[in-house]
Amino acid sequence: MINDEDITTVPIFLQNTIAIIWDFDNTLIAGSMQSPIVDAYNIDEREFWQEVNNLGTYYQGRHTRVNQSTAYLNHILSYVRRGIFPDLSNSKLGELGKEITFYDGLPQFFQTLKELILNNVEFQRYSINLEHYIVSTGLARMIRGSDINPYVDGIWGCEFIEDVAEPRYLSGEQKSLLPEPGVIQQVGYWLDDTTKTRALFEINKGANKYPVDVNDTIPKDQRRVPFKNMVYIADGPSDIPVFSILKEFQGRTFAVFKPHSEKEFQQVYYLQRQGRVEAYGPADYRDGSQTSLWVIQTVRDIATRIVGEKDSALRATVKPAPHHIDDTSEPLSPDVSPQQSMPGFEVE
């Protein structure tokens, strides 16, 4: 029979997971993922985003505040209602995701990083593994439909609802409110620059994998992925809340910029000068590029630290068994413990 005292001594997680958390737009791709949507309906993309960027001012004049980071979601729905995006469904969003073009080296680089850990004998002594997550204010359905999806362990993004729950839907008399099957109707889930940090805590506590609520209290040494085992890679000022969390808790941060773009280079340059990010480089993930080398070395550093921590815990916990002493054995010095004399132990 197991009592409560025994249960509290059992570690919940081994803390042997490394999490690389990626932004999406301007980090994994050049520009925004919504480009295939406006292209599919022959809409001028610049005009669409000008409208989105002015929604704050428009509604402020009507004494209403909007979240600028997610205002594009409702504007897409306005285009659906007006018949400009007449058949835009979640399924179609997934299909349009196939048209997303990634920066050089992707998605292969995701697999390279996983194999870096899986193929290292020292790292596998403690079953260290690496997971990729995408945390974006973009559309989760498009990310799932893209070429990167098979290499990802989890996605946080905005979601649309098609078949909306009508009043008294719990009575069992639900009738579809769709004007036509499969057209998106409402925003179901959204992230903005600040709520991206919630995803970090879900990964940290294991809420994305296990029946744990992100607000549950879990001791830091019992959480699934410590913040110091995380790497966050993104492109700009909108990611400062996440950068700040990881900086506070010893995580690693890296900013990318569009290759050959002076404006984007200046943006990440000043992020680094202000201490917002640890380092920066071009969004080029090909073998041997500056960015790929930094990420690879950082992953190695984290995995090596985990091995060192596990080795230290092992030496501190395991008490060596007695061993035979033959006639040629030298007597132990009073300053040397039996553990220090055991072969295979490194004394620090």
Q: Model confidence over 204-221: pLDDT tens digits?
A: 999 999 999 999 999 999
What pairing do the DSSP bridges indicate for beta strands 129-139 and 252-257? Answer: unpaired
Q: What is the pLDDT of residue 177?
A: 57
Q: Are 158 and 192 in contact (CB under 8 A)?
A: no
Q: Report CA-CA distances (Å) from 61 to 58, 64, 228, 240.
A: 6, 7, 45, 29
Question: How confident is the model over 268-300, as pLDDT tens digits?
Answer: 999 999 999 999 999 999 999 999 999 999 999
Domain ranges of the chain: 18-166+177-318
Q: What is the mean pLDDT of each run of 10 residues along the chain (348 residues)?
A: 58 93 98 96 96 94 92 97 95 98 98 98 97 97 98 98 85 64 90 95 96 94 96 93 96 97 96 96 98 98 97 89 70 50 43
Cα–Cα distances in angstroms (integers) from residue 180 to residues 40, 91, 177, in the given order: 19, 14, 9
What pLDDT, on a 0 to 100 scale, did the predictor assign at position 257? Answer: 97
The pTM for the full model equals 0.88
CATH 3.40.50.1000 fits 18-166+177-318, yes or no: yes
Residue 11 buriedness (CB in 10 A; 0-12 / 13-18 / 19+):
exposed
